[in-house]
């Protein structure tokens, strides 16, 4: 096997926290905000600490902006810079008793982005091309983080009749959204299994917005599913903020096939809109969602949308056997519920045998009903101390 060229990269995963550590007069409070962040990736010989400091800018009191090198010169303290060792680190900038931080990670990376068996591939595109040409199931193992910028349309496709296990292996694939087009990081027409072989299982597929704009009329999905999709581990995250109203982690659509989504573990989340949409658009082709474990989360909306787009009696199946379904937020003053459009019918089977939900109500468009009507025989709903509800044995 080829010798691997080892690179040291910085993948910046940014979060901001403001920590007030002193007592000030009302007119003497200091505010800090990041005006710019460092690049997502650096080779070990690409940047010095001095250059790193110059690449980060801080705005003070919404007025004056400094890069960190100049900010230190006027009294700011900077700690947590480690550019030569693999690990997770927090850089902290403190000024007048106020601290602002971001976390970043240094990872060891080789010159290849993925492998299939013992064969290494320079690009993910080459690995997916091989998988789409194979008549047998193929496991693609990520060897690096990957960032796709100005994404438009579909990044990767699993062809009909093909079967792929995507082992995230602790790495992340990012799609940075171009705010004028509909986007899907992966379109699955065949069989796709998402897994993560690492202990921490921090691998993820993520779609993010490059722009903080008002919602616009596009569909943004991490995975668009027309085939068979299974999530065993890792995270599927749509983090488009205000830049996409139809923002799903998983969008499963019937009409041209009978798609199935099975969640056994991991996290499926949309930070703004709905984590999963089951778009039931056929009276003959079934659309199935089965949740056995993991977490399905939409902190600002319904977690799951069981959508019937017309007046037909379209086919669908939803089994809640385990895991967590979490939601939040309001719309025009009305609380959001875990499920939207959850209505059993002759063609739509809904059965809850286990799992935990944020509350036991459901939103059917204009009114709410008790979720208990969908609980399987021999099961009951128990309210937990944290306000959630768990379906358990009588």
Structural domain ending residue among the three candidates 74, 108, 142: 108
Asked if 163 and 266 sit in the same domain, the reply is yes
Asked if 79 and 139 sit in the same domain, the reply is no
Asked if 289 and 172 sit in the same domain, the reply is yes
Q: Does residue 2 lie within any of the structural domains?
A: no
Asked if 260 and 366 sit in the same domain, the reply is yes
Residue-level pLDDT at 157: 97
Residue-level pLDDT at 38: 66
Asked if 87 and 196 sit in the same domain, the reply is no
Residue-level pLDDT at 50: 65
Q: How would you write the pLDDT of the chain (394 residues) with one tens digit per residue?
A: 444 444 334 343 333 333 333 333 333 578 999 888 766 666 554 455 766 787 889 999 998 999 998 999 999 999 988 777 777 888 899 999 999 988 777 766 668 999 999 999 999 999 999 999 999 999 999 998 888 878 888 999 999 999 999 999 998 898 877 665 678 999 999 999 999 999 999 999 998 875 554 445 567 899 999 999 999 999 999 987 554 467 899 999 998 889 999 999 999 999 888 999 999 888 899 999 999 999 999 988 889 988 887 777 889 999 999 999 998 877 667 777 788 876 666 688 889 999 999 877 665 554 455 677 889 999 999 989 988 889 999 8
Asked if 135 and 66 sit in the same domain, the reply is no
Asked if 247 and 361 sit in the same domain, the reply is yes
Residue-level pLDDT at 163: 98
Asked if 99 and 207 sit in the same domain, the reply is no
Q: Does residue 149 lie within any of the structural domains?
A: yes
Residue-level pLDDT at 88: 81
Which residue bears the tokens 């669908």?
316
Residues 6+ apart with CB under 8 A from 174: 145, 146, 147, 148, 206, 207, 208
Domain containing 234: what range? 113-393
Q: Does residue 103 lie within any of the structural domains?
A: yes
Asked if 168 and 248 sit in the same domain, the reply is yes
Structural domain ending residue among the three candidates 108, 142, 159: 108
Residue-level pLDDT at 8: 38
Q: Does residue 256 lie within any of the structural domains?
A: yes
Asked if 139 and 89 sit in the same domain, the reply is no
The CA distance from 225 to 278, in Å, is: 10
Q: Does residue 380 lie within any of the structural domains?
A: yes
Q: Does residue 1 lie within any of the structural domains?
A: no
Number of domains in the chain: 2
Asked if 215 and 91 sit in the same domain, the reply is no
Asked if 211 and 314 sit in the same domain, the reply is yes
Structural domain ending residue among the three candidates 70, 86, 108: 108
pTM as predicted: 0.74
């Amino acid at each position: 096997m080829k010798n691997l060229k080892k690179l040291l990269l910085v993948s910046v995963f940014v979060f901001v926290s403001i920590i007030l550590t002193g007592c000030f007069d009302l007119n003497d409070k200091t505010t800090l905000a990041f005006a710019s962040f460092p690049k997502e990736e650096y080779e070990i010989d690409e940047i010095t600490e001095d250059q790193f400091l110059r690449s980060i800018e801080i705005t003070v009191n919404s007025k004056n902006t400094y890069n960190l090198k100049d900010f230190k010169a006027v009294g700011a303290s900077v700690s947590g810079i480690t550019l030569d060792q693999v690990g997770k680190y927090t850089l902290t900038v403190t000024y007048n008793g106020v601290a602002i931080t971001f976390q970043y990670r240094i990872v060891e990376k080789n010159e290849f982005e993925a492998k299939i068996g013992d064969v290494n591939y320079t690009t993910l595109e080459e690995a997916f091309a091989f998988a789409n040409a194979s008549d047998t199931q193929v496991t693609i193992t990520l060897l690096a983080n990957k960032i796709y910028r100005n994404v438009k349309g579909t990044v990767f496709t699993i062809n009909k009749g093909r079967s792929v296990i995507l082992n995230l292996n602790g790495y992340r694939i990012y799609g940075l959204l171009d705010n004028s087009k509909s986007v899907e990081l992966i379109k699955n027409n065949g069989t796709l299994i998402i897994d993560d072989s690492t202990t921490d299982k921090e691998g993820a597929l993520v779609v993010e917005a490059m722009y903080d704009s008002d919602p616009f009329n596009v569909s943004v999905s991490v995975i668009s599913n027309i085939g068979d999709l299974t999530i065993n581990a890792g995270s599927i995250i749509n983090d488009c903020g205000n830049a996409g109203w139809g923002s799903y982690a998983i969008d499963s659509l019937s009409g041209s096939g009978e798609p199935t989504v099975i969640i056994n573990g991991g996290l499926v989340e949309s930070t703004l809109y709905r984590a999963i949409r089951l778009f039931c658009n056929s009276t003959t082709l079934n659309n199935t969602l089965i949740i056995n474990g993991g977490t399905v989360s939409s902190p600002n909306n319904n977690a799951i949308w069981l959508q019937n787009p017309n007046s037909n009696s379209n086919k669908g199946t939803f089994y809640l056997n385990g895991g967590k379904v979490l939601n939040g937020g309001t719309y025009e003053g009305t609380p959001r519920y875990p499920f939207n459009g959850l209505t059993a019918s002759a063609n739509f089977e809904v059965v809850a045998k286990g799992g935990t939900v944020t509350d036991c109500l459901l939103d059917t468009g204009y009114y709410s009903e008790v979720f208990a009507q969908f609980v399987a025989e021999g099961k009951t709903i128990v309210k937990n101390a944290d306000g959630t509800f768990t379906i358990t044995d009588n």
